[in-house]
A and B are shown apart, each in its own frame.
Chain A
Amino acid sequence: MPAQTLAQKLLAAAAGRDAVRIGEILTCKVDLAMFHDSSGPRRLKPMLEELGTGLWDRSKVVLVMDHYVPEADDESRRIVRIAREWAREQALPHVYDSVGICHVVVPEHGHLRPGMFCVGGDSHSPTGGAFGAYMFGVGSTEMLGVVASGEIWMRVPETLMMRWHGRLAPGVTAKDMMLHMIGRYGMNGGRYQAVEFCGEAVRALSMQERMTLSNMSAELGAQAGLVAPDETTVRYLRDAGVPDIDTSRWQSDPGAPAQWHEFDAAALDPQVAAPHSPANAGPVQACAGTPVQVAYIGACTGAKLDDLRAAARVLQGRRIAGGVSLMVAPASQRDQAAAQAEGVLPALVQAGATLLPTSCGACSGYGGSIPEGANVIATTARNFKGRMGAASARVYLASPYTVAASALAGRIADPREVLS
């Protein structure tokens, strides 16, 4: 059999084949379909009724209410009510209502395992690639096709291998790695192919940090962002209630067709992406000193337990600058409870942070918490103009370390100055 990349192996398995060629168009069987209150029931229910058909396999469907919760107005109440009523009517076995953001909640509950082929009704669905699963985002009509048939068409992608040598310096994170890659290759640098992250620095990352890499593969323009499973994956899944994972089958073969890019993790500075594109990324020094009025630690990309811990390392025993509003919206209730128990959340609140609900909130412009005209530094994934709800806000993207250090200084700051 020809040498295959992890992406090829995952698609071959989903298509019931031993091997596949790059560029080939396949029909793949879907192992898991995930959607949320915004992309899911309110769009799928009327279309399924119009078609006169139902879900192909409800055990393979996961619904997460995370976008319009907590309900802020009548339209949000209507959208969330549709989702809850439909979940009951369909007797969906996997529903997570107001307990966190889908990309964090779904793996927390052990739904994602190496070797799976999954689709998500959200552009950050490549997050699932951190578990050695092929997962990507689709729109609602394509999701309709999936839930009505259990299948989807795929073009076998090329693989871009991002190999990170060495180890990250203290205060430098997966978020900085991603911003660096997006800055270097641009928002369509991934050309909708598969990216695989590998090398010593990637192996050393926690599962949640790997999820940040895979998550922002969306901003790199890749279809999927994969990390081959290893002992770290096995440990995480064991804690999530999934024992006995086979990792050996889900590795790229030596000599498999791929385009290699090499990076030096030890040389990486904390990165900041200036308004209004994640591709405007560069070392923090380039933006240092820019005054900020809002610091936002939130989103699937930037408010998992590891992210909250990073922020607390900077803010522990300190107080944010006057005139800065620091908002923290933990990515899931489980992470929030863990952060509370280990003193991370109390440290953030004592430093002056305001705690927001565990939902997508301001990242997707739904909370109304970002004032017009503000300079914002955020751990989120996107800083498109108007994305966070205020058209005149200028949003800078950075790691939780850098966001916390900037809240402390009242201006964009290098977290290494505080940590050292």
Chain B
Amino acid sequence: MNTAHKAWRVGDDVDTDQLAPGAYMKLGIADIAQHCLEGLHPGFAGGVRAGDVLVAGRNFGIGSSREQAASALVELGVHAVIAPSFSGLYFRNAFNVGLLLLTCERAGEIAEGEPVRIDLSGPRVLRADGTALPCEPVPGFLLDMVRAGGLLMQLKRRLADGSLPRYPMKA
């Protein structure tokens, strides 16, 4: 919570074709990530640094089920996306690939480039001037998934401790 995260701002209705454009979907995630948000914020993919946060408007992540739209942000090192609302499908995908989403009605108050802190116990976002922006609670099992690094890592753990049976790898 003591780490400051630099904010990158985008607007309402950012769709999955902006985050992972269809034309690059054949490529691997490292290449898709280089085109992330290029139509909306051309400096983003090249300028974003590990630990930065993306602050968006309403309905972030609408559109396709392609989870590359979430993995591209993980690939770029984005720590969290903060927005007043998310597409439900994007919400599931993000936690599954280990990307933290915070639903924050007042996300629009955060300025481009502003350093913000995240307090998960609230949860809330703390602005540079000390203002606290409340966020909707995140269910504990989803926070665990992000902490584990996503569903893949969680499945690994369950297979290892025997809580999930192994099935034959070949028919």
Contacts and interface: CB of A to CB of B under 8 A. Distances in A.
Interface stretch (A8-16, A54-62, A232-240): A54-62
B65 A47 contact: no
Contacts of A188: 58-59, 62, 85, 87
Contacts of A68: 26
A91 interface: yes
Contact of B139 (A25, A49, A54, A145): A25
Contacts of A90: 170-171
Contact of B171 (A58, A140, A389): A58
B40 to A, nearest CB: 10
A141 B159 contact: no
A141 B62 CA distance: 18
Contact of B88 (A53, A54, A192): A192
B26 A139 contact: no
Chain A interface mostly: loop
A137 B155 contact: no
Interface in A126-174: 136-142, 144-145, 148-149, 153
A394 to B, nearest CB: 15
A121 B65 contact: yes
B93 A142 contact: yes
Contacts of A187: 13, 59, 62
A221 B87 contact: yes
Interface in B94-128: 96-97
Contacts of A186: 59
B22 A56 contact: no
Contacts of B96: 139, 141-142, 145
A142 B151 contact: yes
B75 interface: no
B88 A52 contact: no
Interface stretch (A110-118, A196-204, A380-388): A380-388
A307 interface: no
A364 interface: yes
B92 A142 contact: yes
- Determine the interface band of chain A, counting residues with CB < 8 A from chain B: 35 or more
B151 A145 contact: yes
Given A188-B85, A384-B63, A153 B141 contact: yes
A385 B22 contact: no
A336 B141 CA distance: 47
Interface in A1-56: 25, 38-39, 47-56
B46 interface: no
A91 B85 CA distance: 42
Interface string A74-91: 011001000000000111
A334 interface: no
A142 B145 CA distance: 12
Given A51-B152, A142-B151, A144-B155, A221 B66 contact: no
Given A54-B167, A389-B22, A123 B89 contact: yes
B167 A192 contact: no
B52 interface: no
B59 A221 contact: yes
Contacts of A39: 65-66
B152 A139 contact: no
A75 B26 contact: yes
A223 interface: yes
A56 B167 contact: yes
Given A75-B26, A139-B65, A145 B155 contact: yes
A208 B128 CA distance: 54
Contacts of B156: 50-51
Given A52-B166, A141-B93, A386-B23, A277 B13 contact: yes
Interface of B: 13, 15, 17-18, 21-23, 25-27, 39, 58-59, 62-67, 70, 85, 87-89, 91-93, 96-97, 139, 141, 150-152, 155-156, 159, 164, 166-171
7 contacts: A52-B169, A54-B169, A139-B65, A139-B70, A145-B96, A192-B89, A223-B88
Given A47-B152, A123-B66, A144-B155, 14 more contacts: A51-B159, A75-B26, A79-B26, A89-B171, A90-B170, A90-B171, A125-B65, A136-B89, A141-B97, A142-B92, A149-B164, A365-B17, A387-B17, A389-B23
